[in-house]
Amino acid sequence: MSCGSSRSQQLRKVNYQGDGLRSGMQWDDDDLGKMQILIDTVHGDSHPGSSHLDGLADEAKIGVYQAQGKPAVYAVTDICDGIAMAHDGMNYSLASREIMSFMFEIHALASPYDGSIFMSSCDKSVPAQLMTMMRLDMPALHVCGGSMLSGPHYMSSEVLYGAGDKYAQGELSEQELMYYSRNCCPSAGACQFIGTASTMQCMSEALGLALPGNALAAAYTTHLTRYARRAGRQIVENVKNSLVPRNFISSR
């Protein structure tokens, strides 16, 4: 696909206001004429699995620029089952997956993008983005946000399952409870154990929707930032070759 025949350039011919509005964000004529790539993340202060994704989005932007495309970053943050647990917040968990998926689709199709990069790490956000990718008739890649570092002695947030009950029953001291709480999640990233978050990242890679090796790259490592930058370059190539995920998956 040549840049001139791309979706973004074809839609520019019927909506000149779009060029003017993008110029308000300092897009110049050269930017407007490039392949336009959506980078959609679940970045936010919602939980460790999403708080670091802005940095990965910056790396993906560099990759898109390196491949002579023009990136734009959007975000729909997610919620954490661990934070929503044990109160009414858990009633919103599964519903959030569907709502996020609809918003990702809206972002991709309400503006003239030629390809998309989706970034997420956790239970509901990864399947929300994969669902969207399979609905879109558009080249798309998923960047796995990676898992957090382990605490002392490979401790994870699993250690807090039932810890409140043990503390209430006198089986766990306040000092022990505070130690576990302050050390089980020492960095950003998805939970370290093989729960839904890590499993869904592995599923993304196994389906060929994420780059090979991405799912097991730890958050806050140069391995992961390299994958994000590489994805920025790769999505431009996928657009040129009209490589749409749902066509790729159905042919396997």
Dist CA 194 CA 202 (whole Å): 10
Dist CA 211 CA 227 (whole Å): 7
Query: Is residue 157 a contact partner of residue 171, using CB atoms and an 8 Å limit?
Result: no
Looking at CATH, the fold of the domain delimited by 3-148+190-250 is given as Rossmann fold (3.40.50)
| Exposure on the CB side of residue 151, measured as CA atoms within 13 A | 16
Q: Is the pLDDT of residue 170 over 80?
A: yes
Within 10 Å of residue 184's Cβ, how many Cβ atoms?
A: 20
Residue pLDDT, tens place only, 123-162 = 999 999 999 999 999 999 999 999 999 999 999 888 888 8
pTM metric for this prediction? 0.93
Q: Is the pLDDT of residue 113 over 90?
A: yes
All structural domains of the chain with their residue ranges: 3-148+190-250, 150-186
Q: Is the pLDDT of residue 248 over 80?
A: no
As a three-state string, the secondary structure of the chain is: CCHHHCHHHHHHCCCHHHHHHHHCCCCCHHHHCCEEEEEEECCCCCCCCCCCHHHHHHHHHHHHHHCCEEEEEEECCCCCHHHHCCCHHHHHHHHHHHHHHHHHHHHHHHCCCCEEEEEECCCCHHHHHHHHHHHCCCCEEEEECCECCCCHHHCCHHHHCCHHHHHHCCCCCHHHHHHHHHHCCCCCCECCCCCHHHHHHHHHHHCCCCCCCHHHCCCCCHHHHHHHHHHHHHHHHHHHCCCCHHHHHHCC
User: What distance, in Å, lies between the first and last C-alpha atoms of the chain?
Assistant: 23
87: exposed, middle or buried (C-beta count within 10 Å: 0-12, 13-18, 19+)? exposed
Bridge partners for 143 per DSSP: 119
Q: What is the average pLDDT across 45-49?
A: 95
Residue pLDDT, tens place only, 177-195 = 999 999 999 999 999 988 8
